[in-house]
């Protein structure tokens, strides 16, 4: 076994993508994710997971930004994104396009992320690092999912939680 680099790595990834096309149309909405490092990480994960669009709302910083660019390795130049100040307006527009709104949030009706069947057109909504998804945004969502926590912490970093769920959606039910 040897690591793949250069042309071999590009071929390997290209062939994998050809044989394993995603079955979902995925969008992520960042509702006031405050820290540029998290936004940059989300751009990088969105690129890796083939997210169709990132919607940045509220106080979420936008590219170009030195931290977003560095942490995200300039994926903001590759991943389609837009800014909409009001998350409820962005949610309404995405619903009109047929997206199912899924909040990644601890809520009274939330279900474990791995037990939910994600519709073909899914928008995952993540919130502020300290306050989560607002009540108003949560009320506009169709579903809420959460990541079970088995340690003493109550949550994971926002970009880590989004990553886990994105890749679960991409590979759930595949052997």
Instruction: Write the pLDDT tens digit of every residue in 25-61.
Output: 999 999 999 999 999 999 999 999 999 999 999 999 9
- 76 pLDDT above the threshold of 90: yes
Say what percent of the chain tops pLDDT 90.
Answer: 96
Find the range with the poorest average confidence among 15-24, 115-124, 132-141: 15-24
Nearest Cα residue to 128 out of 4, 34, 38: 34
Mean of pLDDT over the chain? 96
Output the pTM of the full model: 0.96
The Cα 74–Cα 78 span in angstroms is 8
The Cα 131–Cα 106 span in angstroms is 11
Question: What distances in angstroms separate CA 12 from CA 7, 44, 125, 170, one per listed residue?
Answer: 9, 19, 32, 18
Listed by start position, the domains of the chain span 24-148+157-171
- Residue reference for tokens 């820290």: 35
Find residue 81's DSSP bridge partners.
Answer: 54
Q: What is the pLDDT of residue 175?
A: 54
Four-way CATH pick for 24-148+157-171: 3.30.530.80, 3.40.50.10330, 3.40.50.1100, 3.40.1280.10: 3.40.1280.10
């Amino acid at each position: 076994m040897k690591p793949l680099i250069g042309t071999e790595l590009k071929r390997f990834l290209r062939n994998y993508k050809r044989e394993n096309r995603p079955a979902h149309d995925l969008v992520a909405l960042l509702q006031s994710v405050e820290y540029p490092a998290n936004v940059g990480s989300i751009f990088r994960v969105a690129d890796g997971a083939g997210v169709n669009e990132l919607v940045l709302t509220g106080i979420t910083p936008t590219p170009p930004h030195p931290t977003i660019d560095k942490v995200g390795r300039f994926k903001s130049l590759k991943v389609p994104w837009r800014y909409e100040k009001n998350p409820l307006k962005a949610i309404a527009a995405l619903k009109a396009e047929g997206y199912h709104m899924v909040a990644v949030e601890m809520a009274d009706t939330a279900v474990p992320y791995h037990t939910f069947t994600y519709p073909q057109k899914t928008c995952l909504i993540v919130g502020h690092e300290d306050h989560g998804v607002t009540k108003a945004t949560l009320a506009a969502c169709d579903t809420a999912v959460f990541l079970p926590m088995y340690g003493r912490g109550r949550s994971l970093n926002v970009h880590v939680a989004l990553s886990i769920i994105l890749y679960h959606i991409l590979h759930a039910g595949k052997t």
